[in-house]
Amino acid sequence: MPRAGLTSGAVVDAALALIDEEGPGALTLAAVAARTGVAAPSLYKHVRGLPELRKLVGLRVMDDMAVRLGTAAMGKSRDEATAALMRAWRSYVLDFPHRYAAFPDNPLIDPDLVGTATRLLEVILAVLRGYGLEGAAALHTTRCVRAAVHGFASLEAAGGFGLDEDLNTSYEMLIAMVVSGLPRTPAP
């Protein structure tokens, strides 16, 4: 009989708390079991094993990011929406650097992840539609935006910017660079 109140969602919550505190490398069934107050074999009533738990963590990270980015961009368009999306993405990475490191490498090829990954992608594509970007052009632009935000935020979260200059100023410059590279045609 599963422990009262313990659900697969609670197991994921415990896994995320562990990751937030100790990094994704600390994620083991034994560590999650200790955190939830059950024996490790009891977790199999809620998850099929560590690979599934990692997948559930990845789903939660992508879902949280989709909500955060979508909320930031909502009601905005074009440059304002792009800047808001980029700021929200950076904020997520800085708020949850270890959790962000658990983001699946290529979720669009995993049938279990593709729905949530597509929802996150759709947030970005919705912002880019404001520039008239569709199809391949929108996907190429999404990759560029992702690379810019991921690169900067990941370096920042890892302490990779050691000089004294203000990081917010640097990031706003990056946003300006990205935005200036987007189409300047009138909004559709």
Which range of residues forms the domain containing residue 27?
1-47
Percent of the chain with pLDDT strictly greater than 90: 93
Question: What are the angstrom distances between the C-alpha of 132 and each of 37, 61, 171, 188?
Answer: 52, 29, 25, 6
pLDDT of res. 184: 82
Structure tokens at 171: 């990031």
Predicted confidence (pLDDT) at residue 46 exceeds the cutoff of 70: yes
Looking up residue 22, the CATH number of its domain turns out to be 1.10.10.60
Are the C-beta atoms of residues 80 and 36 closer than 8 Å to each other?
no
Lowest mean pLDDT among 3-17, 24-38, 60-74: 3-17
Q: What is the pTM of this model?
A: 0.93
pLDDT band at 144 (very low <50, low <70, confident <90, very high): very high
pLDDT band at 92 (very low <50, low <70, confident <90, very high): very high
Same domain assignment for residues 39 and 60: no
Has residue 80 got a pLDDT over 80? yes
Secondary structure string (H, E, C) spanning the chain: CCCCCCCHHHHHHHHHHHHHHHCHHHCCHHHHHHHHCCCHHHHHHCCCCHHHHHHHHHHHHHHHHHHHHHHHHCCCCHHHHHHHHHHHHHHHHHHCHHHHHCCCCCHHHCCCCHHHHHHHHHHHHHHHHCCCCCHHHHHHHHHHHHHHHHHHHHHHHCCCCCCCCCHHHHHHHHHHHHHHCCCCCCCC
Identify whether 187 is part of a domain. Answer: no
Model pLDDT, residue 185:
73
Give the per-residue pLDDT at 1.
43
- Contacting residues for 162 by C-beta, under 8 A, at least 6 apart: none
- Please give the mean pLDDT across all residues of the chain: 94
Q: In terms of domains, do 63 and 143 share one?
A: yes
The CATH number for 126's domain is 1.10.357.10
For residue 187, what pLDDT is reported? 57
Average pLDDT over residues 171-177: 98
pLDDT digits (tens, 9 = 90+) for 150-169: 999 999 999 999 998 999 99
CB 116 within 8 A of CB 62: yes
Give the chain's domain count: 2
